[in-house]
Amino acid sequence: MPVIESLANEFSGRARFVKVHIDAEGQVQQAFHADGLPSYLLFNDGKEVSRIRMTFLGWFLEGRVRSMVKAAL
What is the residue-level pLDDT of the chain in tens, covering all 73 positions?
A: 688 899 999 999 999 998 888 777 778 888 888 877 788 888 988 899 888 877 666 668 888 889 989 999 8
* pLDDT at position 58: 66
CA distances to 19, 33, 41, 53, 63 from 28, rounded to whole Å, are 11, 8, 12, 15, 26
Question: Which pTM was predicted?
Answer: 0.71
Q: What is the CATH number of the domain that holds 45?
A: 3.40.30.10
- Per the structure, the count of domains in the chain is 1
* pLDDT at position 25: 75
Other beta carbons within 10 angstroms of residue 61's beta carbon come to: 19
All residues at 6 or more sequence positions from 60 whose CB lies less than 8 Å from its CB, including other chains: none
* pLDDT at position 14: 93
* pLDDT at position 55: 64
Domain limits at 38?
Answer: 2-72
